[in-house]
Each structure stands twice: as structure tokens, then as C-alpha cells.
Amino acid sequence: MITDPASRESGFHVDTQCPFCSVQCKIRLTKNIPLPGTQRSTYSVEGIPNAASEGRLCVKGMNAHQHVTSTDRLLQPLVKKDGKLTPASWEEALNRIRDNFLDVSERYGPDAIGLYGGGSLTNEAAYLLGKFARIALGTKYIDYNGRFCMSAAASAGNKTFGIDRGLTCRLSDIPLARCIILAGTNIAECQPTLMPYFTKAKENGAFIIVIDPRVTATAAIADIHLQIKPGTDAALANGMLKVLLSESLLDETFISDRTNGFAGLKQHLAAVDLDEIAEMTGLDKAIIHKAAVTYGQAETGILFTARGVEQQTDGHVAVRNFLNIVLATGKIGKPGCGYGAITGQGNGQGGREHGQKSDQLPGYRSIDDEQDRAYVAKVWGVESQEIPRKGVSAYEMMELVHQGAIRSLFVMGSNPVVSNPNADLVEEGLSKIDFLVVADMFLSETARMADVVLPVTAYLENDGTLTNLEGRVLLRETTIAAPGETRHDWSILCELAEMLGKQRYFPFESAEQIFNELRLASRGGLADYYGITYDRLRRDGGVYWPCPSTEENDTNGMLFEQAFAHADGKAIFHPVQSRLPQEIPDEQFPLTMTNGRVLSHYLTGVQTRRSPSLAARSVENFIELHPRTARKYKIEDGEWVEVSSRRGSFSVRSRITDKIREDTLFVPMHWGGVQNVNKATSPELDPNCKMPGFKTSAVSIRPLR
Ligand SMILES: Nc1nc2c(c(=O)[nH]1)N[C@H]1C(S)=C(S)[C@@H](COP(=O)(O)OP(=O)(O)OC[C@H]3O[C@@H](n4cnc5c(=O)[nH]c(N)nc54)[C@H](O)[C@@H]3O)O[C@H]1N2
Ligand SMILES: Nc1nc2c(c(=O)[nH]1)N[C@H]1C(S)=C(S)[C@@H](COP(=O)(O)OP(=O)(O)OC[C@H]3O[C@@H](n4cnc5c(=O)[nH]c(N)nc54)[C@H](O)[C@@H]3O)O[C@H]1N2
Ligand code: SF4
Ligand SMILES: [Mo]
């Protein structure tokens, strides 16, 4: 055990979980005691076998401990005095927050306070943040960064299947699939330890179809690569459905027994013209035909989507159209079949189930549903009228900040000035807000703007559960003490609640006690965790939800074997119009820019840049462009370019590659400041789920000489 991460005298040994992506690989980390005569401790990292990662780790997991032991860690609260963040005691910091919240609430009403959470928080912290907003503060304004991540796929799953769990099957089904479609997902860089499931499928003879405007590391395993024009996935899915229909590759029995609404889809497909689809998507008609037929003919198949399809203003319906393909061919609810929305953040799945979304209560309950409200009110010991109604989505909260309607904002586990679309507006809003609190391990771009910064524990020091991309709940325990004066997210919320006079609703002394209340609050909901206990998690290593009973072990991970989650047990087809991307290139902004990730950095890079081994792999941002595009705009490889859109401009170094479409540019999202791609992205939101159209913006580029 150690008390200070910088301590060089003592060693430790801890079994933990990677803090980054949704696979949640299990790690054994050992800090070795320095040899006599040497100063520096060394660390050994091993993957521990568990059902998802099977003992593998990627480069981020191997080096995750480096940010935890970084000398940049915040070890003491900071309070702004004379415009400067200055070390302060917890008492002073929390008093500042309490005084402000009470004052703002009295003067402008509780809705003038906003909370902004994140998908890296444990289930316990995410649950408590939702409860804190509604019960300790009484505000309706709470949302979280998963809005930018999972909202399109989650809402599509809810509408089509009646439930949203990232994978409807198990990872172990992947090697059994004869055809796999990977739409807008770059698993090789974003969930690298899952790649062996796909290579095993390929060894078993699977045919792999990748849909991506770039030749990614994932596309390297593709048998067909559909190098699509950004933002046209819904149209491609229409083309594939048309082929499946005309080639009679539909599963008529499945359609009639297990679904509703096929007649409407069929009627809609009659008007779909493959030549038009080819034109819109920039793909060859024959290759669309081949992809559809291969998937249709395969005995088993799994279709995956991720942010490439989903972070669009039609992301919700684009996913629904891919789900139409899955349903029409009956490839779901049986071994080797299913759909997967590849979840992003470590707790991207659990973080969207227990109430940090503006429209949601724990257990995936709806904040608008009277029965749901009454149930949760009972668990919380309040009247259901006391629970506020729904608020607005993450970016809309930032608009309210900008307009001055939200006067105080509490950010826990996010770096919104970098990760929101239209970042200049967000930065402007936060720079003039009355009061900003950030709970973080580091002085992120957002924390730097705060009035109070609260230092929190990192994954190595903080107990809790996280739910991986499969819907498997995993327990992360620790024996390592909180360094310096850092505190757990959940204990900060409990203490603040007490200071606001709401102690009786937040009497928790451990993460496990919070989890036990979460179990009750989720009981009978769609995401039912009631049957999951810490002891069971310790014993079984991980448990799939839904898990309604502590008694029987009836969760095998496969959903929809007998029925879908709608009241009548049937899934719903939804006809989707093909449309052009949200922003069409024109004379002034002639190119389409998309964006995404690289292997060694995580999200806004606040953590990975503090890991020397990871930072060294990618030190600065870049823009990928095709050689012919580079020639046209007189850009040389490696030179700085300015990229501009209707929203704003940023500058990055060029990287010329023929692995991208000629009409498309690609920029990673991991850097803030002048290199921030989000200065140029569009804040237009998908009306169905409020996902911003991150992945398609019309831009211009010019060399910066
Ligand atoms: N290394 C690393 N891993 C991560 C993360 C990270 O930051 N770094 N973040 C985690 C999180 S939170 C998330 S959400 C996931 C994200 O995981 P992914 O969604 O796989 O990641 P992205 O790189 O954003 O986008 C995936 C691919 O979509 C393609 N794409 C862009 N536009 C389109 C389009 O219009 N249509 C189609 N079909 N494809 C398109 C991009 O070229 C890219 O290769 O990764 C998780 N894992
Ligand atoms: N252009 C563009 N923009 C995007 C995307 C894209 O593909 N393109 N992707 C979007 C997606 S999918 C996502 S998920 C968002 C994510 O974007 P952000 O929400 O900004 O995510 P992070 O960069 O992980 O920021 C998390 C912050 O919380 C801190 N942190 C980590 N763990 C904890 C914890 O346990 N407790 C507390 N209190 N703090 C913690 C970290 O140090 C960091 O400062 O970005 C979105 N923005
Ligand atoms: S980043 Fe993801 S794949 Fe890599 S070690 Fe961490 S959890 Fe595993
Ligand atoms: Mo994400």
C-alpha cells in the first residue's frame, strides 16, 4: 500500500481494470520496490484472463498507470482567488460550492444549476450524480458526455428492440459468425483486444465487410471494404435492403413471427433506386450488391456499428436502417448472430443506464413515466413530484450556459471545452459563466477555467462497478489509498449533499452501499441489476444484465432468443429515407471532414498525454488527406494547414495518404487549443437523440506558410 503516488519507497500489487475503453480489460499491476542504490520504482503490467479480454492488453492498458503516477496529478483542491487557481482546503472549496449553489438556487431557481457527467465514472458515481442533481439540488439539468457517444445507437436499440444493450450477443459469438459487417467502427485502434475475436472468425471462414471512408487498421481484415462518403450510411443500408429483397434473401418466418412493420419497409424499398444509392454513397453498385448478398446468404452473421455511423444528424435512423437489415434476415437471438453498438468509454454502457441522462432514472427508467417516477421516488424516500422533469442534452446545456440560463455548472468526468462540437461557443459560454466546478484528476482545458477544482481518485484507487460493451457488470476493487487529499467522486457528492442539508438521502460510506441502493432502484427496470451483488461479482468475475434474481444464474448474455423487449415481444421495422449528409460541400467549403481516434490516445487526451509512453507515440494532431487533394490545395506532407468551417478554424500538420477518399479529410479528436477539430464541427443535433453531427462537416483547407 502507498499513500502518495510519487512515493518511491514502497511497492504494491493490485488487480484492476483498464480505465479507458469499453472492453474493460483486467490488469495486474505491480509496483516494484526500487533496488538498493536506485531511485526509481518500476512497474510490471500483466493482463489477467477474464471473459472479454481473455488476458490481452493493448498499449493504452499497458501504460495506463503512468498517468496515475504523473506529477501532474491534482492532490489538493484549487479555488480561484484574484483570477488565479490557488491551493485550498477541502472545507474552503466545498463551502464555496455550497454557498454558490444555495445562492443561485434561491435567486434563480434550482434549474440555474447544471450537472455534466461522464462515461468514465463508475456505476456508483453515475447513479449518485443523477440522484444528486434531482434530490440534493432539485435541478432538471443533468446530462453527460455519453450523449456524444452512445445516444444514436441507444435510442435506435430502444425503438427497434425495446431495450438498449450494446451487444445483443456475446463476444464469444463473433467467431461463430459467417459474415460480419463493421460499419463505422475501427476496432483495431479503439478496442484492440477484441481483434482476435474477428481474426478467429476469419480463420473459421467468416467474410468481413468494413464500411469506412478510410482504409483503417480494421479494414485490413476486410474481404470487402465499402469506402463510403461520410454521412451516407442510411442510404447504403437502403441499397443493401433493396438487394436483399430483390434477391429473396429475407427470413420470411422470422419477419412474420417476431417483427412488426415490415409492410411499411417493403413499400418504402419499392422506391429505392440502386443507381441513386451508388451516387449518394460514392460506392460501386456491384460492390453494394455483393456485400448485401454475402451477408444475406450467410448462415450466421453479426452487424456492428460505432461512431462513424452514429455521430451524424441522422445517426439514429441510420442505425435503425442497419437494424432493419439484421431483422429482415433474422440474424439475431441465436448463436453467431446479433447486433452490436460498440460502446466507447470504460463505463459507456453502465453510465447510460442509471440516471445521469436528462430524460432518465435508474435502471433505464424514464423520467416522464409516472410509474417509473413513483418507483424511484419510493426507493429514494421522496414524493414523486419532488423529482424534476426532464432537462436537455449535453450540447443544449452548453447553449443554456452561453445564454446565461445555467449560471453554475458542475462537471464530473468530462472535458467539454474540447469534446463538444462548436467548441468556440462552449469555451465562450464557460468563460463567462458565474461559477464552474470541475472534479478531475488533472487540470484539463475545462478545469483551467473553473472557479473550484476538486481532485479525485483515479481508477487504481477507486472501488466500483463498470459495465463493459457486452452488458457484463465487472467489479474493480483496490487496496491502494487515495493519494494526497484526493477523494472519490461518490464521497464528494455525499459530502456536498450533507452540506446542502440532504444527508439522509446520501448516507453512504462505501461504493458497495451505493451499489446496493442502485440494485433496488434498477429492480424491475429494463437494466435490472437487482440480482448482482459485489460478492457475486467477486465469485463469477462478471455478470450480464438483465439480472433480476440473486438466486438463479439465468443470464447467459444472449438477448432476444425468444422475444424482443417490446410489450408484444416483437421488434419494429422502421423505414428510413436516404438523405445527403447534413452539410454538403460547396465552393467556399469544398471538402468533407470527418474525425475519430488513433490507437495511443484516449478522447481529449487529458490522461494519455500524461503517460510518457503513450504521448511519445503521437505528439501532435494531424489531418489525413489524399495525395490528389493535397496537390489541388498545394499542401505538402508534414506542413501546417489551417482547416476552416462555418463554425471556426483550427491548425494541424498534414499527413498525405492514399488510404482516404479524395473528397474526405480525417482529423483525430484528441487535442484541444488550436489543434482542436471541434472548433470546426457542427453543433446540429439529431432530432431523435440529440447526437451532434460530429462526423460530417464541410470545410476548406489552406497551407499555413
Ligand atoms: N484508442 C482509442 N480507443 C478508444 C477511444 C479513444 O479515444 N482512443 N475512445 C473510446 C470511445 S469513448 C469511443 S466512442 C470509441 C469509438 O470507436 P469508433 O467509433 O470505432 O472510433 P472513431 O475513430 O470515432 O470512428 C470509427 C470510424 O468511423 C469512420 N467514419 C467516419 N465517418 C464515417 C461515416 O460517415 N460512415 C462510416 N461508415 N464510417 C465513418 C472513421 O474513419 C473511423 O475509422 O472508441 C473507444 N476506444
Ligand atoms: N470531433 C469529435 N468530438 C467528439 C468525438 C468524436 O468522435 N469526434 N467523440 C465524442 C465521444 S464518443 C466522447 S465519449 C466524448 C468524450 O469527451 P470527454 O467527455 O471530454 O472525455 P475525456 O477526454 O475522457 O474527459 C474526461 C475527463 O475526466 C477525467 N476523468 C477520467 N476519469 C475520471 C473519473 O473517474 N472521475 C472524474 N471526476 N474525472 C475523471 C479525465 O482526466 C478527463 O479530464 O467526446 C466526444 N467528442
Ligand atoms: S484501452 Fe481498451 S482494449 Fe486497451 S487495454 Fe484498455 S480496456 Fe483493453
Ligand atoms: Mo465515446
Residue pLDDT, tens place only, 308-321: 999 999 999 999 99
Which residues pair with residue 260 across a beta bridge?
Answer: 572
Buried b (16+ CB within 10 A) or exposed e, 411-422: bbbbbbbbbbbb
**Burial of 485 by CB count in 10 Å (0-12 exposed, 13-18 middle, 19+ buried)?**
middle
**Confidence class for position 554, pLDDT limits 50, 70, 90:** low
* Selection from 217, 444, 211, 185 nearest residue 340 by Cα: 185
d(CA 412, CA 143): 11
What φ, ψ does residue 494 adopt, rounded to 5°? -65, -45
Cα 17 to averaged position of ligand 3 atoms, centre (Å): 9
Residue pLDDT, tens place only, 30-43: 998 877 777 778 89
Ligand 2 neighbour 419 (Cβ under 6 A): yes
Ligand with an atom nearest the CA of residue 67:
2
Residue pLDDT, tens place only, 395-429: 999 999 999 999 999 999 999 999 999 999 999 99
d(CA 295, CA 179): 6
Atom of ligand 1 nearest to the CA of 186: 20
What's the whole-model pTM score?
Answer: 0.97
Q: State the average pLDDT over residues 690-698.
A: 97
Cell of 125: 458515481
With cell 489525413, the residue in question is: 624
- The DSSP secondary structure of 5-43, one letter per residue, reads TT--S--EEEEEE-SSBTT--EEEEEEEPPPTT----EE
End-to-end CA distance of the chain: give it in Å, rounded. Answer: 54
**Ligand 3: which residue has its CA nearest to atom 8?**
25
pLDDT attached to residue 553: 65
Cα 148 to averaged position of ligand 4 atoms, centre (Å): 7
Atom of ligand 3 nearest to the CA of 602: 1
**DSSP letter (8 states) at residue 459:** G
Other C-beta atoms lying within 10 Å of the C-beta of residue 107: 9
pLDDT > 50? residue 3: no
Ligand 3 neighbour 21 (Cβ under 6 A): yes
Cα 383 to averaged position of ligand 4 atoms, centre (Å): 35
pLDDT attached to residue 41: 81
pLDDT > 50? residue 8: no
Ligand 3 neighbour 25 (Cβ under 6 A): yes
With cell 483550427, the residue in question is: 650
What φ, ψ does residue 193 adopt, rounded to 5°? -75, -5
Which domains, from first to last, does the chain contain?
A: 12-68 (2.20.25.90), 78-148+347-544 (3.40.50.740), 151-342 (3.40.228.10), 591-703 (2.40.40.20)
* Selection from 456, 432, 469, 450 nearest residue 85 by Cα: 450
Cα 150 to averaged position of ligand 4 atoms, centre (Å): 7
Residue pLDDT, tens place only, 613-664: 999 999 999 999 999 999 999 999 999 999 999 999 999 999 999 999 999 9
Q: What is the residue-averaged pLDDT of the chain? A: 96
Ligand 3 neighbour 191 (Cβ under 6 A): yes
Atom of ligand 3 nearest to the CA of 21: 2
Which residues pair with residue 492 across a beta bridge?
Answer: none
pLDDT > 50? residue 588: yes
Q: How far from chain centre, in Å, is Cα 384? A: 30
pLDDT attached to residue 1: 39
SS3 at position 245: helix
pLDDT attached to residue 24: 97
**Ligand 1: which residue has its CA nearest to atom 4?**
190
**Burial of 230 by CB count in 10 Å (0-12 exposed, 13-18 middle, 19+ buried)?**
buried
Atom of ligand 1 nearest to the CA of 236: 38
Cα 146 to averaged position of ligand 1 atoms, centre (Å): 14
Amino acid at 291: A
Q: State the average pLDDT over residues 253-279.
A: 98
Cα 2 to averaged position of ligand 1 atoms, centre (Å): 37
pLDDT attached to residue 555: 63
Atom of ligand 2 nearest to the CA of 695: 8
